[in-house]
Amino acid sequence: MNSVLEIQNLETVLHTELRPVWAVDGLTLQIMKGETFALLGESGCGKSITALSIMRLLPEAGEIVGGSIRLGGEDLLLLPEAAMRNVRGKRIGMIFQEPMLSLNPVMTVAQQIGEVLQRHFDLRGQAAEKRIVQILDQVGIPDAASRMNEYPFQFSGGMKQRIMIAMALAGEPELLIADEPTTALDVTIQAQVLELMRGLQQQGGMAILLITHDLGVASEMAHRVGIMYAGEIVETASREAFFRGPAHPYSRKLLAALPGRDRRKQGHRLDAIRGNVPSLSREFVGCRFADRCDQAWELCHQVAPGWTALTGEQQVRCHLFNQNFGSKIVKPAVSGQAGAPATLDAESWEFESFPSAGTEQSTPDGSLLSVTDLKVYFPIHKGLMRRVAGYVKAVDGISLRIDRGKTLALVGESGCGKTTAGKAMLQLIPPTGGSVRYNGVELVGLERNRLRRLRGEFQLIFQDPYSSLNPRMRIIDIIEEGMNALGVEDDGKEPKEKRVDELLESVGLPAETKWRYPHEFSGGQRQRIAIARALAVNPKLIVCDEPTSALDVSVQAQILNLLRELQRNLGLGYLFITHNISVVEYIADEIAVMYLGRIVERGTVDEVLGSPRHPYTQALLSAVPVIELESKRKVIRLHGDLPSPANPPQGCHFHPRCSHVMPVCRKNYPGASIFSSTHTAHCYLYPQDEEQSDRKTQA
Amino acid sequence: MSFKPVILWTDALVYVLVAVIVIFAWQVRRHEHLLAPWRRVGHSASGMAALTILMFFIVIGLLDTIHLRPAIENGNGGSEAAYGVEVLSLLDLLATPLRTQVETTYSAPFATHLYARETVELPGGGQVREFPRLKFGGAHLQDPETQLFGDIATRAGTGAGLALLLWFLIATSVTAIVAHCRGERFVSTLSTIWQGITPVPWRAVFVTLALILLLGGAALALCSDYHILGTDKVGQDVFYQSLKSIRTGLLIGTLTTLMMLPFALLLGVAAGYFRGWVDDLIQYLYTTLSSIPGVLLIAATVLMMQVYMETHPELFDTIAARADLRLLFLCVILGVTSWTGLCRLLRGETLKLREMEYIQAAHAFGVSHWRIISRHIIPNVMHIVLITTVMDFSGLVLAEAVLSYVGVGVDPSTISFGTMINAARLEMAREPMVWWALFAAFTFMFALVLSANLFADAVQSAFDPRMKTLSALARTWRRKSIGKSA
């Protein structure tokens, strides 16, 4: 018996105002020594509550009402609280999602790790210090002996997450619970952290319970996978079996909802799961997924399915696989690609290039928005007189072009200036220099009144649907606001209210929702409202600032489908700001990769993703976790973090982290190297375009 | 009886305030989405109980606001009616016995004798020092020593009994109306109210109402023949003074806030929203203003105004008009000096809000600054305004007391909690101690401020959508058993 953790029929209830919510309802799982078990599912499925139940750290309203949690044969639920404290941090370590919030900002790193050592091993003074250095070395903190006495704010995000891991490891736990450990991190940092966790597991042989919503991360890390839906596990399988042939309709839908280039090429809509995760406060009769399932029949609505064992370790909770209903079995589509059964209900899409609607005022070159050498500098004030001591060069001379009905993706890590660039293009932040021409009209320096008349032409969709809608306004007021401000539809022919109904219907919401307030909607629905608000003024260009990064995979698919549909019907141009490469692959026509305020590579999707030239693009792409059974790809490890834009490195901004660095890289910023009419990169590895580089060195 | 209505400055402002509230309520009733949060207020038990108490204070305050000058009998019977110089309010008229039954000096609550010995001439010559009988308090009793307790109990009992009857009437009619609205039978509605499961917590309202009516009924029955809260140094009834103080307290609390709000709201939001030099200017302004001792500023202004009033006696036809104007000026001055705290809070909140994405979305629509401020920012800072206003309410009532102590508060002829507390300062030092004036002021003020606070709490949690989760957590303990039984 070498199972580390055994959970039997765990039931956790959250008591809320109206009725109890059965957040975890009869969960059973087992994790072996040295194994990584990935618990996958959308938000609101009870993944985090499961983790907190194991630690017995539930919020005050939570209560474990049934089942057992055995850690090495000992039932944790029967332990008194005092004994439980010896388990937490010692036998079970935990890593949280937000490294910035999980470390105490007023204690040094050494003090925080020392606390664990003192509590569980009674190590103090010299001995503790030695051990702290050892642990920090283990998680790859350079120069650990001196940095251990620094405060959390002196470390970068990735380093903080390493320190969190170090704290979790300090107790030498048998089980490590990682609750979305990399969700808040950039892909390059995520790759570092995941590799670190893998390495540590191989050394120490501890078990890991990895909680994530990212199928890619699960596919890279896990040995076994459990899919959680509405408080229960609906499928467990080994990693290979799961990604080769997911059985449960929910798992299949989840995989099919992933965007990617293949999806786009096949011309399919993403396979969104209709509806939302059901509220866990209601009584379930029958299968919990039945309402959203395409293959459900009466039995599914009447009888809750039991476990059915498939080949090997794969088990599924679905009537489709029950022997007694053999005729109903739909063979799970087996395909090498990431769960490609797009046949389910995918309607074919014709992506003909849009015959630019509204070409009345077309510019000579046919571009909707062209940006040349855009700069946004934020002054740094210092001293008593608030003298300007320097500039944060958030956007440092970018040039790009968006055509009608096309999508340009702006890709880069957080802090590289993507969002600032997007806002500066819309003149929401005054640019420091450069030019932004919309339909031939120069926007920079345009006076407020004339700019206001143009505002309706370009709109913005934000990342966080929770902060982008005023909580005190009804949906109808929110949508009408832009129409009122810009005098849209003021001709009296069509009442505004009717227009709002149409807009809501066009984004897939019933018209009567307009009387409600934003807090009554889920994240995906809010994002739809935000899109309807932007569409209300008939824009031609929409800047989408990470519109899906706060959403679940299945909801992300809904939103991406909606955006593409709108582009097809209305001929919208999109500037799509994101760090999610698979979304880019699905939605973008062109890509611009940004690093530290500058665009390092530009080209069409196929050019940039197919043959990336800049070392940064290569590293970025290699760091994206992908669902591949035989993972052959080599992650190009980037050293360190993004430098501060207040003090960018001399020469090529990327040289301190680049593996191909040459002496010339340290001196001057490279000019453009042109590979095709659309594909350019700034790197000395390739022959420079003479004229361009001259101009750059002078600047 | 003929009379001439008088509208003092503060009365006018109170009427405006009432009118605004009525129009606002009418607007709210017509719009379902505006009504929804007020419904939630109506569903809070503590809020509704507090509102019941507040209503009594407000009714008394309003009664005291309607001023008039009664006609006086003029001997020559001329056609022109003459009116008394004394401005009376409706409350004064209703409480005429309380107002006119003045003893010579201190007497304890329910006392029949004075609190101080006096030298009394005996009918047969000679003098004796004793506690003389009161002229009005318990004057109808033959033998106070034996009859007092019985008499008080009978009267209080009768008063409470009548009050209970009134309560019964009110409760029955309210239940009947509720039953009618819900289309249920009277008895079933009564039982749901009794079990406390109606959406509007009528049970809590009825219990509060019963308590107030019992106390009020007993007090009413007793107050015409006894000084139920004693008398003060000049023999005035303390209960009457307490009733009169309610209007002053309410005025200082509400009018000052009204004076302060435009400054705090406009300047605070402008500073946070526009930043740059506007922010610098407003920050310097309130930093400077808040570093001058407030009392000094107020004292200087009040003294200036006092001098002006004394040199222009022709401006005021009655003493009441003068006292009233002084009260109004005190409100204005307190308002002008106390906006800095709220302004600072609002500036901080606006700085946070202006970075919110919905504000940026509004910018992207080209919405004007004024509309962004009025539609996006102000509704989202209203909860701060509300909390600060109510917290300031009690502070302002106390500030008035402090200022009256320094001698720059309300006019000495205005009865207020401040003047009562100020007078109590000397009475507490006296031996034997006179405690009832302070006790009365304290009790009334405490009830007023506490119910205002509780009501504001209910309003706040109903209006702030983010507060919901918190209240959900707070209730979990009560619901724990459900999970176990399920």
Candidates B476, B478, B484, partner chain A, best to mutate (most A CBs within 10 A): B476
In a domain, B242, yes or no: yes
Closest Cβ–Cβ partner in A63, A472, A517 for B483: A63
CB A641, CB A158: distance < 8 Å = yes
For residue A32, is pLDDT > 80? yes
pLDDT band at A320 (very low <50, low <70, confident <90, very high): confident
**Residue range B222-232: mean pLDDT, rounded:** 87
pLDDT score recorded for residue A266:
64
Candidates A11, A17, A457, partner chain B, best to mutate (most B CBs within 10 A): A17
CB contact under 8 A, B366 and A61: no
Candidates A481, A512, A520, partner chain B, best to mutate (most B CBs within 10 A): A481
pLDDT band at A467 (very low <50, low <70, confident <90, very high): confident
For residue A125, is pLDDT > 60? yes
Crossing angle for the helix pair B436-463 and B468-485, to the nearest 10 degrees: 80
pLDDT band at A224 (very low <50, low <70, confident <90, very high): very high
Q: Is B367 on the interface with A (CB under 8 A)?
A: yes
**Other C-beta atoms within 10 Å of B299: how many?**
17
Q: Is A471 on the interface with B (CB under 8 A)?
A: yes
CB contact under 8 A, B356 and A467: yes
Q: Is B148 on the interface with A (CB under 8 A)?
A: no
Q: Is B283 on the interface with A (CB under 8 A)?
A: no
The CATH classification number of A368-595 equals: 3.40.50.300
Give the pairing of strands A367-382 and A387-403: antiparallel
**Residue range B204-208: mean pLDDT, rounded:** 91
pLDDT band at A244 (very low <50, low <70, confident <90, very high): confident
Q: Which of A9-23, A461-475, B112-126, B278-292 has the highest mean pLDDT?
A: B278-292
CB A169, CB A92: distance < 8 Å = no
Residues in B touching A451 (Cβ below 8 Å): 366
Long-range CB contacts (< 8 A, 24+ apart) of A515-521? A515/A474, A515/A475, A515/A476, A515/B32, A515/B33, A516/A474, A516/A475, A517/A471, A517/A472, A517/A473, A517/A474, A517/A475, A517/B33, A517/B465, A518/A469, A518/A470, A518/A471, A518/A473, A518/A475, A518/A478, A519/A471, A519/B465
For residue B238, is pLDDT > 80? yes
The residue in chain A having the minimum alpha-carbon distance to the alpha carbon of residue B379 is A472
pLDDT score recorded for residue A208:
93
Query: Between these two residues, B378 and A386, which has the higher pLDDT value?
Result: B378
Mean pLDDT of chain A: 82
pLDDT score recorded for residue A276:
72
**Model confidence over A553-574: pLDDT tens digits?**
878 888 888 898 889 888 899 9
For residue B194, is pLDDT > 90? no
Q: Is A470 on the interface with B (CB under 8 A)?
A: yes
Q: What is the ipTM of this complex?
A: 0.76
- The range of the structural domain enclosing residue B416 comes to 238-468
pLDDT score recorded for residue A357:
41
CB contact under 8 A, A20 and B486: yes
d(CA A214, CA A552): 9
pLDDT band at B272 (very low <50, low <70, confident <90, very high): very high
Q: How many domains does chain B have?
A: 1
Closest Cβ–Cβ partner in B33, B472, B482 for A515: B33
d(CA B440, CA B229): 7
In a domain, B132, yes or no: no
Residue A183's contacts (CB-CB under 8 Å, 6 or more residues apart) are A97, A212, A213, A214
User: Quick one: tokens of B386?
Assistant: 């509300």
**Residue range B179-184: mean pLDDT, rounded:** 85
**Model confidence over B432-476: pLDDT tens digits?**
888 888 899 889 988 888 888 888 888 777 766 554 443 444 444
**Residue range A577-582: mean pLDDT, rounded:** 86
Cross-strand partners of A489: none
Closest Cβ–Cβ partner in A458, A462, A515 for B361: A462
For residue A304, is pLDDT > 80? yes
In a domain, B346, yes or no: yes
For residue B79, is pLDDT > 80? no
In a domain, B86, yes or no: no
User: Quick one: tokens of B314?
Assistant: 């022709």
For residue A690, is pLDDT > 80? no
Query: Between these two residues, A272 and A176, which has the higher pLDDT value?
Result: A176
CB contact under 8 A, B379 and A19: no
pLDDT band at B73 (very low <50, low <70, confident <90, very high): low
Residues in B touching A20 (Cβ below 8 Å): 479, 482-483, 486
Cross-strand partners of A30: A6
What is the interface size between A and B, counted as CB pairs within 8 Å? 101
CB contact under 8 A, A462 and B360: yes
CB A180, CB A213: distance < 8 Å = yes
Do the first three CATH levels of A3-107+170-222 and A368-595 match, i.e. the same topology? yes
pLDDT score recorded for residue A345:
37
Mean pLDDT of chain B: 83
pLDDT band at B296 (very low <50, low <70, confident <90, very high): confident
Question: Is A3-107+170-222 CATH 3.40.50.300?
Answer: yes
Give the pairing of strands A92-95 and A36-40: unpaired
At A167, phi and psi to the nearest 5?
-65, -40
pLDDT score recorded for residue A602:
92
pLDDT band at A575 (very low <50, low <70, confident <90, very high): very high
CB contact under 8 A, B362 and A481: yes
Closest Cβ–Cβ partner in A19, A428, A481 for B360: A428
**Model confidence over A672-683: pLDDT tens digits?**
888 888 899 988
Helix (H) / strand (E) containing A373? strand A367-382
The residue in chain B having the minimum alpha-carbon distance to the alpha carbon of residue A467 is B357
pLDDT score recorded for residue A356:
40
For residue B263, is pLDDT > 60? yes
**Residue range A620-632: mean pLDDT, rounded:** 75
Nearest to A417 by CA among A452, A392, A434, A448: A392
CATH number for the domain harbouring residue B458: 1.10.3720.10
For residue A192, is pLDDT > 60? yes
**Residue range A481-504: mean pLDDT, rounded:** 77
User: Helix or strand or coil: residue B99?
Assistant: helix
Using a pLDDT cut of 70, give the percent of chain B over it: 92
For residue A584, is pLDDT > 60? yes
pLDDT band at B215 (very low <50, low <70, confident <90, very high): very high
Q: Which of A431-435, A517-521, B68-72 has the highest mean pLDDT?
A: A431-435
Cross-strand partners of A543: A460, A575
Q: Is B322 on the interface with A (CB under 8 A)?
A: no
pLDDT band at B142 (very low <50, low <70, confident <90, very high): confident
pLDDT band at A366 (very low <50, low <70, confident <90, very high): low
Q: Is A533 on the interface with B (CB under 8 A)?
A: yes
Using a pLDDT cut of 70, give the percent of chain A over it: 88
Query: What letter represents residue B455's amino acid?
Result: F
Whose structure tokens read 């310097």?
B284
Query: What letter represents residue A685's amino acid?
Result: L
Closest Cβ–Cβ partner in B365, B375, B473 for A60: B473
Q: Is A301 on the interface with B (CB under 8 A)?
A: no
For residue A638, is pLDDT > 70? yes
pLDDT score recorded for residue B83:
77
Spans of all domains in chain A: 3-107+170-222, 243-328, 368-595
